[in-house]
Amino acid sequence: MINNVYISGTGYNVPNRIVTNDELSNYMDTSDEWISERTGIKERRYIDSEMGPSDLAIPAVEKALSNASLTVYDIDMIIFATSTPDYYAPGSGCLLQDKMGFNNIGALDIRVQCSGFIYGLSIAEQYIKNGTFDNILLVGAEVQSTAMDLSTRGRDVAVIFGDGAGAAIISKTNDDKGILSSHLHSEGKYAKELWLETPSSKLNPRFSDDLIKDGSHFLKMNGREVFKNAVRRFPEVILEALNSNNLDVNDIDLLIPHQANLRITQMIQKKLKLDDSKVFSNIHKFGNTTAASVPIALAEANEKKLIKDNDIVLLAAFGSGFAWGSTLIKW
């Protein structure tokens, strides 16, 4: 019998340091009004000490385990989505396994940037559906602040991103609930519209003083191209999920989109004609946390009891790659 697969627990963690738009104006030519109008972001969180995504993830995982009434010994596999790993090798999932005392279970890092959590959900679902595992820990965690060019040169990117971690426990169930379907896409011709060029294995040496001077180690974004594609792909992949399950927009109880930019979310909402109560947003206080964005938003919505049993919840993301996807869930 094929198991249904559901999210049995959620949790999130953000650093204590709050970085306001006014603080950023001390480092670059910007203002609270300029940032708010273009992004909807008022503040974001930065780490305030040496810390990697595996460290940020620990409190989020503890909350998710507690929410699911499970312990580390109940987890059969770790999937860790991040674009800012602690190190190039080994993966952050292995570091988390050691730091939290999990059994010697598999730990898989995936790198699909803003869509990482959606991709990770799809992977976890298959492992559980085919009977390989019962409970999988899925983490999305990022430390973006150390990759930001906090100067006027890097302003368009630096004002958007923040640090954080979200976690979910993916489990089997015989109840009539869980993941209904996932839908994944990519279009690599846009790779350089949102990318981090160096360090690169194509270069020898991979890093140099000249590269640092050029700023190629900072994240770069063509905001206009990202926006144009995001407002097209988000509605497409949301409708794809609904159509695949013979549902329509009116059946959505809560849409949780990747927190990329409030203007993008508002455009999606307008195209789909969704009420404010059906679209979750927390970008104003956390910024864009990349792979952590969707699980943080999901955990916060769950914590606030905005999701009820049998609700139709739709998760959707779009980001670097370009890669995008959606997951439809009966809660």
pLDDT tens digits, 245-269: 999 999 999 999 999 999 999 999 9
Residue-number span of the structural domain to which 297 is assigned: 179-330
The residue among 119, 114, 121 whose CA lies nearest residue 193 is 114
Which of 176, 208, 227 is the last residue before a domain boundary?
176
Confidence label for 209 from pLDDT (cuts 50, 70 and 90): confident
Query: Is residue 84 located within the same domain as residue 52?
Result: yes
| Over residues 170-174, mean pLDDT | 97
* 245 has catalytic annotation: no
Query: Is residue 160 located within the same domain as residue 20?
Result: yes
pLDDT for 191 equals 92
Query: Is residue 120 located within the same domain as residue 199?
Result: no
**Coil, helix or strand for 19?**
strand
- Angle (CA) 228-120-237 rounded to 5° is 35
| Over residues 229-255, mean pLDDT | 98
For the chain, percent of residues with pLDDT exceeding 70: 99
pLDDT tens digits, 179-207: 999 999 999 999 999 988 788 788 788 87
pLDDT for 19 equals 98
pLDDT for 199 equals 81
Least confident of 135-149, 210-224, 280-294: 210-224
Query: Is residue 146 located within the same domain as residue 82?
Result: yes
Q: What is the CATH number of the domain that holds 249?
A: 3.40.47.10
pLDDT for 205 equals 83
pLDDT for 204 equals 85
pLDDT tens digits, 98-131: 999 999 999 999 999 999 999 999 999 999 999 9
pLDDT for 217 equals 84
| Amino acid at the residue 80 | F
From edge to edge, which strands make up the β-sheet containing 254-257? 178-186, 323-330, 312-319, 254-257
Query: Is residue 276 located within the same domain as residue 211?
Result: yes
Residue 215 pLDDT > 80? no
Which of 159, 176, 193 is the last residue before a domain boundary?
176
Residue 237 pLDDT > 90? yes
pLDDT for 220 equals 86
Confidence label for 72 from pLDDT (cuts 50, 70 and 90): very high
Residue 42 pLDDT > 90? yes
Confidence label for 28 from pLDDT (cuts 50, 70 and 90): very high
| Over residues 323-331, mean pLDDT | 98
**Residue 118 exposed, middle or buried by CB count within 10 Å (0-12, 13-18, 19+):** buried
Residue 1 pLDDT > 60? no
Query: Is residue 130 located within the same domain as residue 190?
Result: no
Query: Is residue 295 located within the same domain as residue 161?
Result: no
Cβ pair 268, 238 in contact under 8 A: yes
Look at the chain and report how many structural domains it folds into: 2
Cα–Cα dist 14/289, whole Å: 10
| Over residues 44-59, mean pLDDT | 97
| Over residues 140-154, mean pLDDT | 94
pLDDT for 207 equals 77
Query: Is residue 110 located within the same domain as residue 160?
Result: yes
pLDDT tens digits, 285-311: 999 999 999 999 999 999 999 999 999
The residue among 179, 187, 186 whose CA lies nearest residue 244 is 179
Reading the block at residue 229, the tokens are: 């594609």
Query: Is residue 89 located within the same domain as residue 160?
Result: yes
Query: Is residue 189 located within the same domain as residue 225?
Result: yes
pLDDT for 197 equals 79
Strand 135-142 versus strand 164-173 pairing type = antiparallel
pLDDT for 208 equals 81
Cα–Cα dist 74/222, whole Å: 43
pLDDT tens digits, 77-100: 999 999 999 999 999 999 999 999
Which of 176, 195, 228 is the last residue before a domain boundary?
176
Query: Is residue 69 located within the same domain as residue 19?
Result: yes
The catalytically annotated residue of 114, 229, 261, 302 is 114
The catalytically annotated residue of 4, 135, 288, 302 is 288
The catalytically annotated residue of 13, 21, 94, 258 is 258
* 94 has catalytic annotation: no
pLDDT for 287 equals 98
Query: Is residue 127 located within the same domain as residue 260?
Result: no
